[in-house]
Structure 1
């Protein structure tokens, strides 16, 4: 297994979310069909796209917070209990702010 570089992982994740958000904004900016039946379907699709855009922007915010923790030297520390977040979790979710135990408690 290769060395985990949180800065690189966060950069890659940020780039992915920025590209996703830009593509969603382009899709939302397109013109709608003049056929009213088509417009109804397109508006439904736009609702889904807006939800996905909100999700991408929220993930970008979380990546930004993880970058702040990295700069402050607290990256990899659980924001709830202060224990170390497992590297396997950080590899899977580089912006993770909580250890697995605390994340499970938060979701409950």
Structure 2
């Protein structure tokens, strides 16, 4: 398996997320519009941005864990069953710690 390929993908995605999260944070610190109607729209937008921020933060944690697995030599090995994770799955979700079978089992239980 070409771990260098996945490391590049993960580092690129991490940089994109960090940039996006920074822009979201800047938006939260921007002064609000004094107009009531505009403030209502801004509050709604803030909720969407907050959800995007939380999702981005979770993905960053997963990416950092994947990069640690690369450094530790365990990338591409399922953290649950110890079998190899298919390259097809890694191509779709490069930060996944689980093979397809274990991911499906976990999602059915959760």
TM-score of the aligned structures, taking structure 1 as reference length: 0.91
Cα displacement (A) at 1:64: 0.4
Shift of 1:21: 0.8
Local SS of the residue matching 2:96: coil
2:81 matched to 1:77?
no
Paired residues in the alignment total 106
Deviation of 1:105 after TM superposition, in Å, equals: 1.1
Match of 2:35 in 1: 35
Alpha-carbon RMSD: 1.3
Secondary structure in 2 aligned to 1:54? helix
The alignment status of 1:22 with 2:38, answered yes or no, reads no
Per-residue CA deviations over 1:50-97 (Å, capped at 9, x if unaligned) read: 111111111111100001111111000011111100011111211011
**Cα distance in 1 for residues equivalent to 2:94 and 2:13:** 8
Q: TM-score, normalised by structure 2?
A: 0.89
List gaps (5 residues or longer) in structure 1.
none
1:79 counterpart SS class = coil
In the aligned structure 2, how far is the partner of 1:16 from the partner of 1:99?
A: 25
